[in-house]
Structure 1
Amino acid sequence: MDTIVPPFTTIQAGERSQVSHPVPNRWSRLLTLGGAGILAALLLVVAYADSLAFLFQQWMEDDNYSHGIFVPVIVGYLIWWRRKAVMAAGVVPSWWGVGLVLFGLILFVLGELSTLYVVLYLSLWFVVIGLVIAAIGIHASRAIIFPLGYLLTMFPLPQILEQNLSAQLQLISSAFGVGCLQLIGITAFREGNVIDLGPIQLQVVEACSGLRYLFPLTSLALLCAYLFQDRVWKKILLVASAVPIAIVLNGLRIGMIGLLIEWYGQGAAEGFMHA
């Protein structure tokens, strides 16, 4: 009896190489990037230990920047939320990121020599951005450009800028508070940031400038504008509204203190005012 021999299938050279050397899939690439990211994060923590410790202290002790502790968590979630867009853009490592890392390291040296934390914070930000671009490329980084930029909201402003901004807000809030008091018939006058209520004078000091409202509101407005799927001008209006809202809130607070003093005397406003 004749036996039937099944026909042989020929494998081309290109096909044989594909079978013996499979192309790494997306998950293996993600695991590689994840491992590299964890290693880079550990190295950053070691290198910037003093700066991060001081930054955390500011978050805990300075009400103006108490929102900063939530920013890294929000950024991490936003990047995870945009992960599909990152993969769709194509993960291609770029040498441009190495250049940003080197620039950040130069800032690190300058910050250490000058003992300026603001320079060290900028150094940390540039190094992080550079590592991201080096790992996933420029095109993929564009998909998470807002989360990367949003990291800047967790850093305190340079002291000279903060003092100038605080001084301007003190004057504006004082004027608004006096206007509120005069509107309801209470006699009040302002000289600089001092409010004269007759027998009592209120001084709107730096702690009452309204920065503790302005910085968190601005950070929140930026986040809402990013998530708000609408026209650009509406997003700009949303972010810009943080400034007048902060001024109004602080001015109303000052006016309320003056009202309490007018009705119940100085003791009613203890703990709320600076006289």
Structure 2
Amino acid sequence: MANEFLSSVSPVGASAEAPSDARFSWTDSLQKYSYFGVLALTAVLLYSYWNMLVGTAAFWADDQYSHGFLIPLIALYIMWAMRPNPEAQQPPEGQEEASFIGLMPGSQLLKVSTGVILAAAVGAYFLRSMLPGGGEQTGWLLTPANGVALAVFSVIALGYVMIGQAFKDVTATERWIGLAVLLAGYGIRIAAAQYYSEPLNRLSFLVVLLGGFLMVGGWSFLRWTGPGLGFLIFMYPLPSFVEQTLLLNLQKLAAVMAEVVLTILNQPVVRTGSVINVDGIPLEVAEACSGLRMVTIYGGFAVACALLIKRPWWDRLIILLSAIPIALITNITRIVVTALLYRAFPESEVIHKLVHDFAGFAMMPLALGLLYLLLKVLSALSVEEEEITGYGGGALGGASPTG
């Protein structure tokens, strides 16, 4: 059965290159110039789009998109997991690894630094309500120091990820295509400015990044960095018309489904619009409880999981298709449990507040638990991908080579 969850190579297709024993060489001018070219281009594009990025980060102060600052870090991890030569950062066999001022091996420095930064970022995400102003109106994520720190760390981390990943000769065709994509991205940005379309402006940033990486590193480089770049789309807020449409529909759906579940549980429930009355206790399914936040957060997580998991393509597709149902089930469970506890403790305002807040924190662990169960079920139903590609029969029981 398929038990390995994470893949160290790109799962984009069977044509993905196998890991290479070649090590990065600073004496090779192609390697050196390509390496610094990618970093310089990334820094220039970050500066070019700084106003757009600051405007995007303004949405991260809203609970709906407060996960946004984690997306660049996850995108870097996707690149790290997909790099074609994962052993490149290790010292040559028989040689002692250099240490960082005698404290730790050099290869562990970025891992420890990344862990500390991720822990601080996740801690800040969950503890933001304890900050002055609740982390909403103060714009604590928007300070210049924080923005510059995230940008600088992203460039440095990208540089570390690329160490040892050999750049191949890039054909003139690849460079011209990359340049054309980059210029097309800036064309989209000009059109966005002309028609005051901020979503198009945000999209153009991803286009110029993809074009720039293709221009410098070619298709072989874009094959393992492209999925991480594309994942950056989850740091953007939804277009306002899409957000409002989804909010209204998800709010109504959550109220209706919660009413159905409570009725099945033999609870005295009456729904009026988005307000559920359980034994005379009104419980409003507000916009914040519509489940849109869970859909956006868990949707991004499911995409990352599908990119990194070592499973057949249909398993990845099932994980993607299950993202919205799992997010909705989690949100409906939250509403139902809240309604049941409100009825059990009708007079206690303290318990009401604790239940409401705890239910919000419990949504992601519940969603991850459902994903884990899904992975277990898929493991039980799937066979190893090597078995599928070996004879072509796969799970459908095709003919074996022995007839």
Q: TM-score range by the shorter chain?
A: 0.7 to 0.9
Q: Which amino acid aligns with 1:74?
A: I
Q: Which amino acid aligns with 1:208?
A: C
Distance 1:146 1:42, change over 3 A: closer
Of residues 163, 177, 184, the one that matches 2:265 is 184
Preserved CA contact (<8 Å) 1:189 1:196: yes
- The gaps in structure 1 that reach 5 residues or longer are 1-23
Of residues 291, 294, 298, the one that matches 1:213 is 294
Pairing of 1:75-114 with structure 2 (within 5 A): 75-84=75-84, 90-92=168-170, 93-114=174-195
Shift of 1:27: 4.8
Q: Deviations over 1:123-150 (max 9, x none)?
A: 1111111101111123432343322322
Distance 1:26 1:67, change over 3 A: farther
How far apart are the structure 2 equivalents of 1:84 and 1:185?
56
Pairing of 1:260-271 with structure 2 (within 5 A): 260-265=341-346, 267=349, 268-270=351-353
How far apart are the structure 2 equivalents of 1:180 and 1:26?
66
Preserved CA contact (<8 Å) 2:202 2:236: yes
Preserved CA contact (<8 Å) 1:177 1:253: no
SS for the counterpart of 1:137 is: helix
Shift of 1:26: 7.1
Shift of 1:88: 6.8
Q: 2:176 matched to 1:175?
A: no
Shift of 1:200: 3.6
Shift of 1:247: 1.0
How far apart are the structure 2 equivalents of 1:26 and 1:91?
15
Q: 2:142 matched to 1:64?
A: no
How far apart are the structure 1 equivalents of 2:256 and 2:27?
60
* Structure 1 residue runs of 4 or more that deviate by more than 6 Å after TM superposition: none
Preserved CA contact (<8 Å) 2:81 2:308: no
Q: Deviations over 1:81-109 (max 9, x none)?
A: 44436967834152111111111111212
Matched with 1:14 is none
- The gaps in structure 2 that reach 5 residues or longer are 1-24, 86-161, 358-403
36-45 or 229-238, larger mean C-alpha shift: 36-45
Identity %: 28
How far apart are the structure 2 equivalents of 1:152 and 1:91?
29
Q: Deviations over 1:12-71 (max 9, x none)?
A: xxxxxxxxxxxx977543331232223222322322122111212222x22332332222
Q: TM-score, normalised by structure 1?
A: 0.80
Distance 1:198 1:212, change over 3 A: same
202-211 or 140-149, larger mean C-alpha shift: 140-149
Q: Which amino acid aligns with 1:36?
A: G
Greater helix fraction, Structure 1 or Structure 2: 1
Matched with 2:39 is 38
167-176 or 94-103, larger mean C-alpha shift: 167-176
How far apart are the structure 2 equivalents of 1:25 and 1:39?
17
**Bigger radius of gyration among the two:** 1
Q: TM-score, normalised by structure 2?
A: 0.56
How far apart are the structure 2 equivalents of 1:91 and 1:33?
10
How far apart are the structure 2 equivalents of 1:207 and 1:29?
52
Pairing of 1:1-275 with structure 2 (within 5 A): 27-59=28-60, 61-84=61-84, 90-92=168-170, 93-197=174-278, 199-265=280-346, 267=349, 268-270=351-353, 272=356
Matched with 1:6 is none
215-224 or 27-36, larger mean C-alpha shift: 27-36
Q: Deviations over 1:180-201 (max 9, x none)?
A: 3223322112233221335443
Distance 1:164 1:201, change over 3 A: same
Preserved CA contact (<8 Å) 2:79 2:227: no
Give the paired residue count.
Answer: 249
Distance 1:25 1:199, change over 3 A: closer
Q: Deviations over 1:218-268 (max 9, x none)?
A: 111111112222221111111121211111111111112222222222634
68-77 or 217-226, larger mean C-alpha shift: 68-77
How far apart are the structure 2 equivalents of 1:41 and 1:144?
13
Distance 1:27 1:63, change over 3 A: farther
Distance 1:155 1:181, change over 3 A: same
Q: Which amino acid aligns with 1:48?
A: Y
